[in-house]
Amino acid sequence: EAEVAQSPRYKITEKSQAVAFWCDPISGHATLYWYRQILGQGPELLVQFQDESVVDDSQLPKDRFSAERLKGVDSTLKIQPAELGDSAMYLCASSLEGTGDTQYFGPGTRLTVL
């Protein structure tokens, strides 16, 4: 069964450092999502791509976060500089295009900022 791949699974960094997360969606899925999940809360959408274009980044802290999906396949989420409050689980998901399509999630990257 096809799965969403993410790496690394765990990342520990010091504040003010740069970090990057990678996601490879299910083959053929045009839509890719990055979510942030703070401990004890539900995931919150950071950015959504349709192919290589951003369709929703309203909740992305653009002063320090950036995301790209250059060839419309895999994607990278970057934080620079990292802050203590960025400690969270970062989840990637993908879906076929279209409202109501099921989103399939990867295993996530657990970020700890010291």
Partner 1 sequence: AQSVTQLGSHVSVSEGALVLLRCNYSSSVPPYLFWYVQYPNQGLQLLLKYTSAATLVKGINGFEAEFKKSETSFHLTKPSAHMSDAAEYFCAVSGPFSGGYNKLIFGAGTRLAVHP
Total residues contacting partner 1 (rule CB under 8 A)? 31
Closest to partner 1 by CB, 16 vs 113, is 113
13 token code pair: 């960094």
| Cβ pair 83, 64 in contact under 8 A | yes
Contact positions with partner 1 (CB under 8 A) in 27-56 = 31, 33, 35, 40-45, 48, 55-56
- In the complex, the smallest distance separating the C-beta of residue 87 from partner 1, rounded to whole angstroms, is 14
CA distances (Å), origin 92, targets 10, 49, 110: 14, 11, 12
108 alpha-carbon distance from chain centroid: 8
Pick the stretch among 14-22, 71-79, 80-88, 97-105 that binds partner 1 (CB under 8 A). Answer: 97-105
Q: Does 91 bind partner 1 (CB under 8 A)?
A: yes
| Cβ pair 92, 76 in contact under 8 A | no
| Cβ pair 35, 91 in contact under 8 A | yes
Q: Does 75 bind partner 1 (CB under 8 A)?
A: no
Q: Does 99 bind partner 1 (CB under 8 A)?
A: yes
Pairing of strands 10-13, 109-113: parallel
108 token code pair: 């996530």
- In the complex, the smallest distance separating the C-beta of residue 12 from partner 1, rounded to whole angstroms, is 14
- Interface contacts to partner 1, rule CB under 8 A: 4, 6, 31, 33, 35, 40-45, 48, 55-56, 58, 91, 93, 95, 97-108, 110
